[in-house]
Amino acid sequence: MATSNVSTDALREVRIGLLGCGFMGKCHTNAYKTIPYIYSASRVVPRLIVLCDKQPQLVEREAARYGYESSLTDWKELAADPRIQVFDNCTPDPLHPEPCIAALKHGKHVICEKPMAVSFESARRMRDAAAAASGKAMCTFNYRFMPAVRLAKDLIAEGRIGAIYQARVHYLQMAGHDPSWPPEKVWASAWPHSGGLQGIGSHAIDQCRFLIGEIASVSALVRTFNENRAITSVDCPPEITADEGTAAVLEFQNGAIGVLESSVVATGRKNYLAWEINGSHGSLRWDLEHPNSLFACLGGTGNDRLLGFTEISVTESDHPYVGPWWPQGHNLGWEHCHIIEKFHFLDSVAHDKPLSPYTATFEDGYRVAAVIDAMRTASRTGRRMQVQY
């Protein structure tokens, strides 16, 4: 029988309580179950203590299926549970503030799915609660942990593309392109979700902040194209108020300018997050449909006839985050950036390391909410708005 060469007394166990049995609950659980064997050298071991959901039969079944030791149906019990160190909130958007704030008050470390809240005011309350608490608090902007995205950040920080002039950032999906679909089939339109700008546009905004810098002002058009979808669920309110498409012009504090789009009605686009950043000495571009490739144009001067983009396969062991994974050329994808992100959070808990600058904190979630609030106000008033952080 094979024996482990890892000393058990050196292991750092981190006890998890997770709220929500849906898509993201499954995703986060998968990350926790993968961490011990990918990151064995770190000695960080997640322990799945309790799964919580308001549906008793569902949560009991899923807890057994995923390997949680117990289940609960009341998030207040979970937030106060002395068995857990980490409170992971994977519920729909409106259910983020109260459970997270309660968990922070109980001294838990908190993970919250994005967007952090459906209103700027709620995001502010969550940010303030995290600042006053002893625990660490992360908002899951997982695309920061794509190796190619992190490599781009490093290249920008090294000055490889010079001063940033402008950028184009898009997050496009087709989840609601068919106007005959009822809102409950369109995740961004149906309660309890809060629209495409928060649902996926928040990722695009975070990529802007992560790679380029703080956004100073915005002008925007935020639109709901299908306000009269047929309601077929008693749980869905009669009005469709969630936005479906946003087009915005950004001005950054460092003087750069940018264009940002989000859409859940982009026919043909399944999950297309993409950006291009242009600087005085080079450019970078990346998209989620080709997640391991960073396209770089570096060191260009004058009218060099060979100047253009080169594809970098970000799969080398010395590339960011790649080392514990597979040999060169063996690709990582959407699932893996979640695993990498959750590992870095648990590692920060186990070894008391700072989350910033690479992990998104509740401060980052709040600042994204501030940009969204400014975009909505700009669309409503027809005026360019300064972002009020």
CA distance 56 to 70: 12
Give the model's confidence band at 226: pLDDT under 50 very low, under 70 low, under 90 confident, else very high.
Answer: confident
- Would the pLDDT of 8 be above 60? no
- Would the pLDDT of 191 be above 60? no
Q: What is the pLDDT of residues 90-139, one digit of tens each?
A: 999 999 999 999 999 999 999 999 999 999 999 999 999 999 999 999 99
pLDDT at 186: 62
pLDDT at 179: 73
Give the model's confidence band at 193: pLDDT under 50 very low, under 70 low, under 90 confident, else very high.
Answer: low
Mean pLDDT of the region 255-260: 99
pLDDT at 42: 87
- Would the pLDDT of 4 be above 60? no
pLDDT at 41: 87
CA 60 vs CA 49, 83, 85, 292: distances in Å = 13, 18, 21, 38
Q: Give the pair of three-digit tokens for residue 348.
A: 């920060």
pLDDT at 227: 75
- Would the pLDDT of 291 be above 90? yes
How many beta carbons lie within 10 A of that of residue 238, not counting itself?
Answer: 6
pLDDT at 1: 38
- Would the pLDDT of 225 be above 90? no
pLDDT at 234: 54
Percent of the chain whose predicted confidence (pLDDT) is above 70: 90
The residue behind tokens 């290249």 is: 155
pLDDT at 229: 72
Mean pLDDT of the region 251-264: 98
Q: Say if CB 229 and CB 189 are below 8 A apart.
A: yes
Q: Residue 126 phi/psi, 5° resolution? A: -70, -40
pLDDT at 6: 40
Three-state DSSP string of the chain: CCCCCCCHHHCEEEEEEEECCCHHHHHHHHHHHHHHHHCHHHCEEEEEEEEECCCHHHHHHHHHHHCCCEEECCHHHHHHCCCCCEEEECCCHHHCHHHHHHHHHCCCEEEEECCCCCCHHHHHHHHHHHHHCCCCEEEECHHHHCHHHHHHHHHHHCCCCCCEEEEEEEEECCCCCCCCCCHHHCCCCCCCCCCHHHHHHHHHHHHHHHHCCCEEEEEEEEECCCCCCCCCCCCCCCCCCCCCEEEEEEEECCCCEEEEEEECCCCCCCCEEEEEEEECCEEEEEECCCCCEEEEEECCCCCCCCCCCEEEECCCCCCCCCCCCCCCCCCCCHHHHHHHHHHHHHHHHHHCCCCCCCCCEHHHHHHHHHHHHHHHHHHHHCCCEECCC
Q: What is the pLDDT of residues 39-88, one digit of tens each?
A: 998 889 999 999 999 999 999 999 999 999 999 999 999 999 999 999 99
pLDDT at 5: 40
**HSE-up of residue 65 (Cα within 13 Å, Cβ side):** 11
Task: Tell me the pLDDT of the chain averaged across its residues.
Answer: 92
Selected residue with higher pLDDT from 299 and 256? 256
- Would the pLDDT of 187 be above 90? no
Q: Give the pair of three-digit tokens for residue 203.
A: 């990722």
Query: What is the CATH superfamily name and number for domain 9-143?
Result: NAD(P)-binding Rossmann-like Domain (3.40.50.720)
Percent of the chain whose predicted confidence (pLDDT) is above 90: 82
Residue ranges per domain, the chain? 9-143, 146-332+360-386
- Would the pLDDT of 237 be above 80? no
CA distance 370 to 380: 15
- Would the pLDDT of 311 be above 60? yes
Selected from 3.20.20.70, 3.40.50.300, 3.40.50.150, 3.30.360.10, the CATH number assigned to the domain covering 146-332+360-386 reads 3.30.360.10
Q: Give the pair of three-digit tokens for residue 281.
A: 């000495």
- Would the pLDDT of 320 be above 90? yes
pLDDT at 212: 99
Give the model's confidence band at 7: pLDDT under 50 very low, under 70 low, under 90 confident, else very high.
Answer: very low
pLDDT at 91: 95
pLDDT at 142: 99
Q: Say if CB 273 and CB 288 are below 8 A apart.
A: yes
- Would the pLDDT of 235 be above 90? no
- Would the pLDDT of 153 be above 80? yes
Lowest-pLDDT range of 224-233, 260-269, 337-346, 356-365:
224-233
pLDDT at 236: 56
- Would the pLDDT of 251 be above 60? yes
pLDDT at 120: 96
Give the model's confidence band at 175: pLDDT under 50 very low, under 70 low, under 90 confident, else very high.
Answer: confident
